[in-house]
Amino acid sequence: MKQFAKIAGVNLGILLLLLLIGEGVARFAVRYNPSYYTSVNATDAVIEYPYGIIKRNSGGHPDDEFDLADPRPRVAYVGDSVTMGVGAGHGYRFSDILEKRFPQYQHMTLVSIGDDFNSKQYMDKRVLEAKVLGVNQFIYFYNLNDTLPTAIPNISDTAPAQEMSLSVIIHFIKSKTHFLRDKSYLFNWVRFKGRNALARFGIGYRGEPSRELFPEQNSTVLDQVADRINYLAGNLKENGIAFTLVLLPYEMQVSQDAEDTYTRLGIKWSDGFIAGKTQDEIRARLGADITVLDARGAFVQAPEDRLKIKTGRYFVYNKGDSLDWNHPNREGHALIADFLQREGLFQQIN
């Protein structure tokens, strides 16, 4: 027994030494910021990130306090981390830019990281919130990674337990190791390599297949996406709230250099994706009365524009522990704001 304990102790010591060496090497070798997507300081009202700050009001939304006594028409910006401002920070998001340009409206950002609108129940919740806040126009910024099957609600406590899918396993691992993201360079390097490996196999950060990259193979999912958006639009219309859908692009769709970069890194997509087939297929399935703006036009107004844009010019690329082709940086948000202004974003409430 003593001999076993001695051997176990020696092996544990060797393992700890190797981990310390690995951590030391990683701190010199890693060229990105391993804490880019994690907060460096936080209070109840402001969260600081390497790219800027995200405010948090008393309602839990990433914005200044809402003034419900303000008589101005109200515009709600709804989406996920892109709309929240990951990669840009408060004051530099398209919503903040438009707020400065259109002071005749009260601008509200109603976002949580991970929001994906993959169930009608979630949409009902957002519509109810918009109704309570007196929103006049509801603008949904659709991130392509929201291309997910419609979630089936668990309507009974006796329903079978969720199967151990890859997404469930990844969520479990993330929940148990999240505290290491802003502490260990070695952990972040391993995590970065693991996520990249999954991306090469067409697996997104949730552990779900990246269906948006292969629209031809996922027509059923696109049907479900459009069904949810049509449902959302109808629900808003019943409550007297104007609805606009903004389709956000991935970086490789607006830049030839980014397309080449991600191809070299082993990321795959179908032939039609670069030309915007995912956005086009969603749009074709929507009701004719839904206002749709395709934000590819913020970056590419003529075919030759794709040839001029370098990787990382308008999107967050290689800044943190992730290959990031869906978060615009500050310059990207500015282009989107310009595009939305050109397209007359607020004409439905004028």
pLDDT for 62 equals: 93
pLDDT for 189 equals: 47
Of 89 and 33, more confident: 89
pLDDT for 349 equals: 82
- One-letter identity of residue 281: E
Mean pLDDT of 228-238: 97
Structure tokens at 234: 């109808």
What CA–CA distances, in Å, run from 253 to 52, 87, 262?
A: 26, 19, 11
What is the average pLDDT score of the chain? 82
| pLDDT above 90 for 44 | no
Classify 34 as helix, strand or coil.
coil
pLDDT for 125 equals: 92
What confidence tens digit (pLDDT) does each residue in 132-188 have? 999 999 999 999 999 999 987 654 444 444 444 655 555 555 555 554 455 555 555
Phi, psi of 243 (to 5 degrees): -130, 135
What confidence tens digit (pLDDT) does each residue in 245-282 have? 999 999 999 999 999 999 998 999 999 999 999 999 99
| pLDDT above 50 for 23 | no
Q: Which residue, among 223, 220, 217, has the nearest Cα to 270 in the 3D structure?
A: 217
Cβ contact 116:97 at 8 Å = no
> What span, in angstroms and rounded, lies between the C-alpha atoms of 83 and 90?
10
pLDDT for 49 equals: 87
Q: Which residue, among 42, 53, 81, 33, has the nearest Cα to 205 in the 3D structure?
A: 81
Strand order of the sheet with strand 291-294?
106-111, 74-79, 137-142, 242-247, 291-294
What confidence tens digit (pLDDT) does each residue in 186-210 have? 555 455 555 556 666 566 656 678 8
Across the strands, what pairs with 53? Answer: 48
pLDDT for 208 equals: 76
Structure tokens at 290: 């839904």
| pLDDT above 80 for 228 | yes
Query: How remote is the C-alpha of 55 from its chain's centroid?
Result: 17
Task: Tell me the CATH number of domain 63-153+162-349, given options 3.30.70.2660, 3.40.50.1110, 3.20.20.70, 3.40.50.11810.
Answer: 3.40.50.1110
> What span, in angstroms and rounded, lies between the C-alpha atoms of 225 and 207?
18
> What span, in angstroms and rounded, lies between the C-alpha atoms of 321 and 37?
8
